[in-house]
Amino acid sequence: MRDNVRGIGLLFALILFGVGTMPAQVVKRQHRTLVVNGQTGPVAVVEVDGRSYVDLEALAQMSNGWLRSKENSIILAAPPASDASTPAAIPNPVNEFGLSQDFMRAGIEEIAEMREWATTLASAIQNGYQVTEGWVAPYREQAGSNLKLANIAAATEGDRNAFQLLNNEFDAVSQWSKTLVEARQNMDTAKYVVSPNALREDPLSQKIIACGRFLSSMVASGNYQDDASCH
């Protein structure tokens, strides 16, 4: 069947261009390299009076198409060739400040953990509860664990820069937590109980609040930004 189709293809090409009905024409058969749609291979070529014709089946194979004989028809199907005149799409410029989805997710979770740590500790101090190192340890450990996950998720330059700000906030909350635990042990937290705003007005507390708000907006924007409150 393959030989029949191949013979039909070559015969069709010759009949189409009048070969056989015009014996005076000069016919030459030879093998050449054919390039179709970037595909290269040797094919049989029939040259008639300086014009070249190829086997239809060979053309179908070279163009990654197919050739079928159906009743009185010969069907040649081939995918369209790419238009070399169409310029290649220009890739979008890389956003060096962009945050990856994984890092944004991890960053949001870490910000939430640090906020819970800080607000729970502040509430306990203001209400005069007994706060010890063992009491705050679970909050610190959970925030530390989420910080590691954010570090692992950092994949872009923007992620890595943003992670440094998250790490700075973690260090600030850790320092603030340690200071309050020591103050509670030394019975030096009465001022926070008497004045509800005393703890909030503490410089380190204000720095933590400002950085936390900035980090939340930065991560939500999907782009790295910087702010003095996180340094």
Map 139-198 to HEC letters. HHHHHHHHHHHHHHHCCCHHHHHHHHHHHHHHHHHHHHHHHHHHHHHCCCCHHHHHCCCC
Give the domain ranges of the chain: 2-77, 101-230
Q: What share of the chain is helix, strand, coil (3-state, %, to 5)?
A: 55, 15, 30
Task: Please compute the mean of the pLDDT values over residues 158-184 and round it to a whole number.
Answer: 96
Does 163 score more than 70 pLDDT? yes
Does 118 score more than 90 pLDDT? yes
Could you tell me the pTM of the whole model?
Answer: 0.59
- The more confidently predicted of residues 147 and 3 is 147
Backbone angles phi, psi at 139, to 5 degrees: -65, -45
**Given pLDDT bands bounded at 50, 70 and 90, which one contains residue 15?**
very low
**Given pLDDT bands bounded at 50, 70 and 90, which one contains residue 53?**
confident
Does 221 score more than 90 pLDDT? yes
How far, in Å, CA of 34 to CA of 42, rounded?
A: 6
Stretch among 58-67, 70-79, 99-108, 154-163 having the lowest mean pLDDT = 70-79
Residue-level pLDDT at 96: 77
- Reading the block at residue 83, the tokens are 């238009």
- The more confidently predicted of residues 178 and 96 is 178
> What CATH fold (topology level) applies to the domain 101-230?
A middle domain of Talin 1 (1.20.1420)
Residue-level pLDDT at 65: 62
Residue-level pLDDT at 123: 92
- The more confidently predicted of residues 73 and 194 is 194
Among residues of the chain, what percentage have pLDDT more than 90? Answer: 47
- List own/partner pairs for 74-78 with CB under 8 A and 24 or more apart: 74/8, 74/9, 74/12, 78/36, 78/37
Look at strands 27-36 and 39-48 and give their pairing. Answer: antiparallel
Does 1 score more than 80 pLDDT? no
Residue-level pLDDT at 72: 54
The mean pLDDT of the chain is 78
Does 81 score more than 80 pLDDT? no
- The more confidently predicted of residues 132 and 36 is 132
Residue-level pLDDT at 90: 46
**Given pLDDT bands bounded at 50, 70 and 90, which one contains residue 16?**
very low
Does 206 score more than 80 pLDDT? yes
- The more confidently predicted of residues 66 and 139 is 139
CB 165 within 8 A of CB 172: no
- The number of beta carbons lying within 10 Å of the beta carbon of residue 132 is 11
Does 79 score more than 60 pLDDT? no
User: Which DSSP symbol is given to 134?
Assistant: H
* β-strand partners of 47: 28, 52
Strands of the chain (E only): list them.
27-36, 39-48, 51-54, 66-70, 73-77
